[in-house]
A and B are shown apart, each in its own frame.
Chain A
């Protein structure tokens, strides 16, 4: 069992670290996206106001009719907790060869004095969200198979880990720093056991989110190889929204006229968005989506109307089958969309502990193997290839991932807005830094290199709030004063991680190599 745990863990741990790291950041996906669009840091923040819905809808309708000529879809998004602004967006029909048409979005100023129309092109938090299961530079399907394979290994590693850890309750609170590989084992145990329910849940539900890819046979057999039919049946509302345009102009009822019907059915729920598919066409559809707030669900609650005569075509049904409810609960546990600010912070913390678990596990392996080879190494022999490989990858992923992330944020603010393929260059910056970190690790991976990369990371993190202040109309203090917690929180987290980095840097400098367990654990916290 120990053998199984070691090898299923070690084989895929770097991919898993990337997945855990990006997934953890994805809990703050919208917050990161907002930070990455400094044009929206001022004048647009507002909260949901039921009394202004009619006005906002008709204003949006007029605006889109004027500005979004020939659009395939309009999208009016109301302010929510994590998207604190009113915005009017539209999607153009796809160009030949494209799957989806270009999407534009204009945010309404809070005092209604105008619109913010020029926002830099950035993938924001969506990059990390996609990276977390689609990886990058390879096809999404290949990536999902790789991630699924590694996740299965993770599940095996967790279960075998529980079996071989005979002192779960006795060592529950035990962390003995400064004792070499013993401390690594403690760090690995504590980060695993304290968040064990989360690790099990997130790994298992991770497999569930993509189960149709991994195990399609049940569906293929029962639906005669027609996945679309299964999806239509599993998500009854979706077929109504996929209707093609009739290419025949037809007058559309004013959007505000749908409000009374909507409020009759779901009076207590705030609206999240109103979208119009095929606007001003005979086949126009009005889709009203609700904000389900803190309900533990992943389902989109929405109603579909015919835009020309106002007929109700579909209304979400709360009465769902047990299988669907189970699937829904698992999906929502994984994505945690329902979380309020505190629970979201806890999910982030749990995700970090997953990163520590993976990083401390692989660091422990390297420390142990180096100890074993210590005698030969001191007599002049080279460390084995396996050890060099593991040590290089450790440094590359444990410090390279946060370094790349910080580079992504710097690129977001420093690349010129007119650069073609701007959002892609932000992503490239992430990977460039990851590769630089790896190349440096191939060259040297001693304590000095760890410290050098750690110093770079710490400095870059510490200057992030300053960068924000210089390149955004708002800064940490003004966001703090205005109660803009999403933006202030971003800067504060950067500072907190910088403080951790500084602490780890100092520890690494003070202690001889053998006793750096504690400091290296702190580095792992960052990864």
Chain B
């Protein structure tokens, strides 16, 4: 479960970073086009991966409902970080895969 939360958070963080304004707030510079595109694609792929994991682990019915709930839970800290501490977002996004892997093995 921890891994799933970290993964979905990562997905929304990447998607937020793929947007011009949010990238600039978080990194202090404008993103290159390629960077934006990479973040965008990887964000969507990560989100898709989260859905697949939910469904394989919890079956279609329960898993898909859980996935919708997780999306809200995961997007909320991204919004709060961008509002109050935008510089922290890149750091926590690097941390997320670590938590993901740790959560996976617990």
Contact = CB atoms under 8 A, between A and B. Distances in A.
Interface of A: 170, 172-177, 190, 194-195, 197-198, 294-296, 329, 333, 338, 342-343, 346-347, 349-350, 353
A346 B66 contact: yes
A194 B66 contact: no
Contacts of A329: 61
B22 A198 contact: no
30 contacts: A172-B16, A172-B75, A173-B12, A173-B16, A173-B19, A173-B75, A173-B79, A175-B82, A177-B83, A177-B84, A190-B79, A194-B71, A194-B75, A194-B79, A198-B72, A294-B62, A295-B61, A329-B61, A333-B65, A342-B1, A342-B66, A343-B62, A343-B66, A343-B69, A346-B66, A346-B69, A349-B69, A349-B72, A349-B73, A350-B72
Nearest to B21: A174
Interface string B6-26: 000000100110010010000
Contact of B72 (A177, A194, A295): A194
Interface residues of B, number: 24
Contacts of A294: 62
A346 B73 contact: yes
Interface of B: 1, 12, 15-16, 19, 22, 61-62, 65-66, 68-73, 75-76, 78-80, 82-84
Contact of B22 (A173, A197, A342): A173
The 9 A-B residue pairs with the shortest CB-CB distance in the complex, in nearest-first order: A346-B69, A296-B61, A175-B83, A173-B16, A195-B72, A197-B68, A194-B72, A194-B75, A173-B79
Nearest to A348: B69
Contacts of A190: 79
B83 A347 contact: no
A294 B65 CA distance: 12
Given A173-B79, A175-B79, A175-B83, A296 B62 contact: yes
Contacts of B15: 172
Contacts of B69: 198, 343, 346-347, 349-350
B72 to A, nearest CB: 5
Nearest to A193: B75
Contacts of B65: 296, 333, 343
Contacts of A170: 19
Contacts of B68: 197-198
Contacts of A350: 69, 72
Contacts of A342: 1, 66
A346 B70 contact: yes
Contacts of B79: 173-175, 190, 194
A173 B82 contact: yes
A159 to B, nearest CB: 18
A247 to B, nearest CB: 46
B25 to A, nearest CB: 10
A294 B80 CA distance: 32
Given A197-B68, A296-B61, 5 more contacts: A172-B16, A173-B12, A175-B82, A177-B83, A198-B69
A291 to B, nearest CB: 16
Contacts of B70: 346
Contacts of B84: 177
A343 B78 CA distance: 20
Contacts of B16: 172-173
Contacts of A338: 62
A353 B68 CA distance: 14
Contacts of B75: 172-173, 194
Contacts of B80: 175
B44 to A, nearest CB: 12
A195 B80 CA distance: 15
Contacts of B19: 170, 173
Contacts of B78: 173
Contacts of B1: 342
A387 B61 CA distance: 46
A199 to B, nearest CB: 10
A170 B15 CA distance: 11
A422 B69 CA distance: 38
A349 B5 CA distance: 14
Given A296-B61, A346-B70, A194 B76 contact: yes
B26 to A, nearest CB: 11
A332 to B, nearest CB: 9
A301 to B, nearest CB: 16
Contacts of B62: 294, 296, 338, 343
Name which of B71, B72, B84 has the most chain A CB atoms within 10 A of its CB: B72
A342 B70 CA distance: 10
B72 A346 contact: yes
A350 B12 CA distance: 17
Contacts of A346: 66, 69-70, 72-73
A174 B80 CA distance: 9
A503 to B, nearest CB: 12
Name which of A173, A174, A296, A353 has the most chain B CB atoms within 10 A of its CB: A173
A190 B76 CA distance: 9
Name which of B65, B68, B71 has the most chain A CB atoms within 10 A of its CB: B65
A426 B22 CA distance: 49
B96 to A, nearest CB: 16
